[in-house]
Structure 1
Amino acid sequence: MVSAVTRGATRQGAVFVAAITTYFALQTVLRLWLGGALETDEAEMMVMTPGLRWGYGPQLPLYNWLQWVLFELFGRDLFALSLLKNLLLWATYLFVFIGLRLFVPAGVAAAGALSLYLIPDVAWEAQRATTHSNMLLFTSAITLAAFLWVLKTGRWAAYGALGLAIGLGGLAKYNYWLVPIGLIAAALTLPAFRARVLSPRLLLSLGIAGLVLAGPYGWMLRNPGLAFSSSGKLAMGTAPGLAEQALDGLGQLLAGAAILSVLAVIVGAIVWAVGRGRRAGDPPPPVAALLLRAGAVVLVLMAMGVVAAGVGRITPRWLLPLVFLAVPGGAVWLGARMRPRGGVAFAAILAVLALAVLTGLGFDRYKDRARRAVDFTPLPEVLAGVAPQPGTPVVAEFYAAGNLARLRPDWRIAPYLPFAMREFGGGPVLFVLRENTPETLEQGLREAGWDDPGDPQILEQGAFTLTFTTSGEAMKMRYYLVDTPGPGGDD
């Protein structure tokens, strides 16, 4: 006979799955209903998914692979873009819940998973803009679930799943590596988990991860200029400005961590005030300590990296591995000590936040100078008036390139990345510059692979504007038709 406790846990799990499924279905419908132009990261996928390749550019390839599959199934348009984004976010919450459920009751596991919604870059930016960061969240979630399976059972299958998860995570985003490192280091500090981490079976995990990573990482070693072309975003310093850069970076690191965690802290304080008072029962396993310590390890590693490399620029979303571990850890710690009314308060707060996000995304579509509000429909006609199409290659930054590719999938279009020179060099190429991106033609030529542009042979140049439909404002555009040298330097 199924006990009342088991029935309750099953019911809570079903409610959790139904809630996240409904929410992300609504998000998918909302994105399709709002329509408009593609966001920058969405547009990137339109020009960075030519097929299945070991690598595509500065971003790791896993997102591109899955996006290509959905493009093949559903066509190269907004539905396939929105579907992948929301599937990944849905699966992120699901796998965090599955992993935590191995150690804590269903209600606490649901609270731990849903606490991710209190991270602004997860609740808002992951819906509005990002792509590869969503893959980071998903692979971090399957890594956490597999790691907790290892700690719970020590089975060969669990170690195999962990290896696969680590391999996939290594193809998601570079900062993903902080997640397994943080988890392993934290587990070593907890006697209940140490033996699982020191088991020889972990070699199976490492072996499987290595097999998954071999092809793409080999491509990176063969194409370092393309694979690491965005490393300048870190603004790494050199002596004598190294110390000053490092101090700036540390300040931004702490500020970014505060930005990403402040809402979780506030909500946690409210829930604690409403539901404080430990429930009866055995003390929970140290999974909360594992996650909190893993977050601390990640913070220390990040700080050490900033100091060692003199990193002077930190974007908050780069800190997602830190809050991905720490925020659910805090939620599990709190949830295990809450009376039921605390859970009710938490659910009510999440419902209000979800409604606010759904409403806010609708308003974001119609704000002045919103990316989605740009009317790109005149762009193909303008460019076709400059050079014959679809024969003349076009190079543009991701936002313009992707939206152009959406309208004219048969044109030869590339972003400002080094492979543009290899594919298009040796003839006329039409370069499109959006406002100050890139700032000059010479800078654009260098970004596109012409390392020494010298004095470009400009055949024609001009300017035009595209319109923001919400405000009527103009987005300034420039173009240059250039007779480019080939890969060997000859015309």
Structure 2
Amino acid sequence: MLERATRTIKTAGLLLAAYFVLNIALRSVLPHSLELDEAEQSFFSQYLLAGYGPQPPFYNWMQYAVVSVTGMSIGALIVPKNILLFLSYLFYGLAGRRALKDEALAAVGMLALITLPQVSYMAQQDLTHTTALLFASSLFLYGFFRTLDRPDMASYLLLGLATGIGLISKYNFALMPVVALIAILPDAEWRRRALDWRMLAAITVALVIVLPHAVWLQGNLAFASSDTLVKMAAGSEPAGAVRIGKGLLAFFVAIIAFAALPVVIFAATFRRDFVRALSAGNRWTGMMERMMLASLAGIALIVLFTGSTTVRERWLDPFLLVLPIYFLAKMQAAGLDLSAGLRRFRPVLPVLMACVLIALGFR
């Protein structure tokens, strides 16, 4: 059954749809006292504004549109969020199909997002703006990979749409287009994609989406950045080598916290194939490596220049989201027979889904 469910993006999408329906049902039968982000949305959904505070407005605009039609209810808060999460998985799978050139492997990669706790558990727990960021990041990966694979006008417009949505979802998304550009510079063919005249159309779409909030942000920059600065603040720690060391250590711990579970699961199920694949690669794996390294270097520089001693693993969401696709692409590039590893990997996915539902219920 699991093998049939992972043959195509469509069949894997049906499995995911059932999973998110269960998440909606579970939240509906739990007490209706609101989580912090849910309470915030129930308040802000009464107003349509260009800016709401320390977070960009995309999720607020979406919630306002839903509540304007349906009225306020627990369903109006949880259904749109689960739809966004479902679309995050779906666009991630479509991105994987471009990089892997194998629909069945892309379907497995789509479901493998469940191995990232920041996506599978933390986003369901309460987070709203992070959910929007996950959606925008998956859409960006799909638009970016599609532009590299088939550079038609629709691909560029999709890339611009994803960039615009990302920039008004979370401010740290601004690093994504930069690292994507850095990642394709060594490849002559892909470098021409960035110089294509259709890139102007993508930039125009992104600017149109961002413009209302950008105008508001110009006069409210201190207000919008206050919450992030407080979270990153070093407190009473004096400036110097100790604070830099603590900041870099926190950054390193955040990377481990983000990547540990998928690495352990892939290593345990694919075993020697996973180890052998570490030295393999192709132009797609090289590009993804450059994306991740450039983004992590950028965050490290931010930690150094701000003197931060706090780095939360969910801040890495858009930059390390590509890990499951990357692992599968590495093993594919090694020319290995992955059938045995996939047989061991597939049963892990529904187990993790059940663990998330149980944990949310007990919580």
Q: TM-score, normalised by structure 1?
A: 0.67
Question: SS where residue 102 of structure 1 aligns?
Answer: helix
Aligned mates of 1:190, 1:81 — CA distance in 2: 44
Q: In the superposition, relative to structure 1, how do residues 275 and 239 fare at CA in structure 2: closer, same or farther (>3 Å)?
A: closer
Kindly report which structure 2 residues correspond to 1:56-67, keeping only aligned pairs within 5 A, or say none.
56-67=52-63
1:235 positional shift: 0.5
Name 1:248's counterpart in structure 2.
246
Number of equivalent positions: 354
Letter in 1 for 2:103: A
Letter in 2 for 1:330: F
> Any gaps of 5 or more consecutive residues in structure 1?
1-7, 365-491
Q: In the superposition, relative to structure 1, how do residues 192 and 341 fare at CA in structure 2: closer, same or farther (>3 Å)?
A: farther
- Listed one character per residue, the Cα deviations across residues 353-382 of structure 1 (whole Å, up to 9, x for unaligned) are 111111111111xxxxxxxxxxxxxxxxxx
Query: Quick check: 1:272–1:334 contact (8 Å CA) kept in 2?
Result: no
Q: In the superposition, relative to structure 1, how do residues 10 and 118 fare at CA in structure 2: closer, same or farther (>3 Å)?
A: closer
Query: Quick check: 1:49–1:64 contact (8 Å CA) kept in 2?
Result: yes
- Relative to its length, the structure with more strand (as a share) is 1
Aligned mates of 1:289, 1:75 — CA distance in 2: 48
Over the aligned positions, Cα root-mean-square deviation in angstroms equals 2.5
1:118 positional shift: 1.2
Residues 1:51 and 2:47 are matched in the alignment: yes
Name 1:297's counterpart in structure 2.
294
Q: In the superposition, relative to structure 1, how do residues 229 and 16 fare at CA in structure 2: closer, same or farther (>3 Å)?
A: same
1:312 positional shift: 1.8
Radius of gyration: which is bigger?
A: 1
1:164 positional shift: 1.5
Name 1:339's counterpart in structure 2.
338
Residues 1:170 and 2:150 are matched in the alignment: no
Letter in 1 for 2:157: G
Query: Quick check: 1:102–1:148 contact (8 Å CA) kept in 2?
Result: yes
- Listed one character per residue, the Cα deviations across residues 23-51 of structure 1 (whole Å, up to 9, x for unaligned) are 11111111101133111111111122222
Residues 1:199 and 2:221 are matched in the alignment: no
Aligned mates of 2:272, 2:39 — CA distance in 1: 44
Q: In the superposition, relative to structure 1, how do residues 276 and 309 fare at CA in structure 2: closer, same or farther (>3 Å)?
A: closer
- Listed one character per residue, the Cα deviations across residues 282-310 of structure 1 (whole Å, up to 9, x for unaligned) are x9963233223211111111111111221
Q: In the superposition, relative to structure 1, how do residues 94 and 284 fare at CA in structure 2: closer, same or farther (>3 Å)?
A: farther
Name 2:21's counterpart in structure 1.
25
Q: In the superposition, relative to structure 1, how do residues 246 and 15 fare at CA in structure 2: closer, same or farther (>3 Å)?
A: same
Aligned mates of 1:9, 1:15 — CA distance in 2: 5
- Relative to its length, the structure with more helix (as a share) is 2
Aligned mates of 1:163, 1:303 — CA distance in 2: 27
Q: Greater shift after overlay, 233-242 or 25-34?
A: 233-242
Name 2:233's counterpart in structure 1.
235
Kindly report which structure 2 residues correspond to 1:12-161, keeping only aligned pairs within 5 A, or say none.
12-103=8-99, 104-161=101-158
1:170 positional shift: 0.4
Aligned mates of 2:345, 2:70 — CA distance in 1: 38
Query: Quick check: 2:27–2:78 contact (8 Å CA) kept in 1?
Result: yes
Q: Greater shift after overlay, 344-353 or 331-340?
A: 331-340
Aligned mates of 1:193, 1:354 — CA distance in 2: 37
Query: Quick check: 2:117–2:258 contact (8 Å CA) kept in 1?
Result: yes
Query: Quick check: 1:276–1:338 contact (8 Å CA) kept in 2?
Result: no
Aligned mates of 2:349, 2:20 — CA distance in 1: 14
- Listed one character per residue, the Cα deviations across residues 70-103 of structure 1 (whole Å, up to 9, x for unaligned) are 1122221211111111111100010011122124
Q: In the superposition, relative to structure 1, how do residues 341 and 81 fare at CA in structure 2: closer, same or farther (>3 Å)?
A: same
Between the two structures, name the one with larger relative contact order (CA 8 Å, sep ≥ 6).
2
Q: In the superposition, relative to structure 1, how do residues 9 and 149 fare at CA in structure 2: closer, same or farther (>3 Å)?
A: farther
Aligned mates of 1:285, 1:97 — CA distance in 2: 19
1:274 positional shift: 7.4
Query: Quick check: 1:294–1:326 contact (8 Å CA) kept in 2?
Result: no
1:140 positional shift: 0.6
Question: SS where residue 229 of structure 1 aligns?
Answer: helix
Aligned mates of 2:354, 2:218 — CA distance in 1: 46
Letter in 2 for 1:267: I
Q: In the superposition, relative to structure 1, how do residues 76 and 333 fare at CA in structure 2: closer, same or farther (>3 Å)?
A: same
Letter in 2 for 1:358: L
1:332 positional shift: 2.9
Aligned mates of 1:177, 1:341 — CA distance in 2: 40
Q: In the superposition, relative to structure 1, how do residues 338 and 55 fare at CA in structure 2: closer, same or farther (>3 Å)?
A: farther
Query: Quick check: 2:270–2:344 contact (8 Å CA) kept in 1?
Result: no
Query: Quick check: 2:57–2:168 contact (8 Å CA) kept in 1?
Result: yes
Name 1:316's counterpart in structure 2.
313
1:176 positional shift: 1.1
Residues 1:216 and 2:213 are matched in the alignment: yes
Q: In the superposition, relative to structure 1, how do residues 101 and 162 fare at CA in structure 2: closer, same or farther (>3 Å)?
A: same
1:11 positional shift: 4.8
